[in-house]
Chains A and B, each alone.
Chain A
Amino acid sequence: MATVFVPPQLRDVTGGADRIEASGATVREVIDEFEARFPGIAARLLDGEHLAAGLAVSIDGTLSNRGLQAAIGKDSELHFLPALGGG
């Protein structure tokens, strides 16, 4: 199972849980899976069909460029982080 790290500001929806196991194979699947367990969480993470503005997803220490389509490994760690630019 992959582990999703729940940002402090999202724990109101997860009942205080800071890490949650998930079985989805993509970010999209994980969010759908969470929405079933924690109704309302998808609205917090998504703008329509995209990750919310200013949000990025990091898988195993690397910010993914693939948004909701990003693939998640069996033992992956997943973080929702602020999007990064560069100079």
Chain B
Amino acid sequence: MKDFEYAAVSTIDEAVSLLSARGPMATILAGGTDILVQLREGHRQAELVVDVKKIPELLEIDFQPDRGLRLGAAVPCYRIYEDAAVAAAYPGLVDAAQIIGGWQIQSRASVGGNLCNSSPAADSIPPLIAYDAACVIAGPERTRRVPVARFCTAPGKNVLRRGEFLVGLEFPPPQPRSGCRYQRFIPRNEMDIAVVGVASWVCLRPRENVIEAARIALAAVAPTPVLATEASDWLAGKPANAESFTQAGELAKRAARPISDIRGPAEYRTHLVGVLTKRTLSDAVQRALAP
């Protein structure tokens, strides 16, 4: 690995000014589980590594039932699932946080880092999209907010500009009779990259077994994680039953534009979108109905 400079900053402003000054040759270090591998294997070059884990805002978990969740970008995965209130309110997020790598990885890796790595196969991005979470981005000019669904632009690429970095994620407050589920398909049972990942969020009508609104997000089937808009919209007003879930799965497949690679052939991935959409919708409805 080529040597680099290391700076541990303690304020957002410090980070912004370093990043502005060094541009593309500076990189953020949160959990480091992606970035260190990429630097070591030469997939990424950096002259300066900016450790943001000493910035208080980046390590914050602030959940209020009426205002939602504010999740610092560097909060490691294990703190999410060990937080009982957050785990109860956002189980779809926990689904992802507890399967990103093994335990050792979850001790370091953050959802924010997973998002900024912008892999099409990132496990945490589909639930973020399904929950309609927004990115809080600090930069030289102002702090801006971008919906997660619009954050990634291509494999490994996102909307962050020179000097900008992700401070945190904002989740809307949980709605009554709503539920979310993330599942991925991998050949092993752990320690794998998603062949396909699907997060389904549903909100049911009061006292009716009918879907009021749904958001289905897919990973590993396009250059970025995507919202399956057609399937999501179609579900509104449909009964929450197996037939609807299967049909939604068929529609979700249309949002998939997968490639064939070492993790799976394209047609298999499309097939899995249908399977996982059906399964996650069913689980999400169960969660919506759970007391």
| Touch between chains A and B, by CB atoms below 8 Å | no
Residues of chain A at the chain B interface (Cβ within 8 Å): none
Q: Which residues of B contact A (CB under 8 A)?
A: none
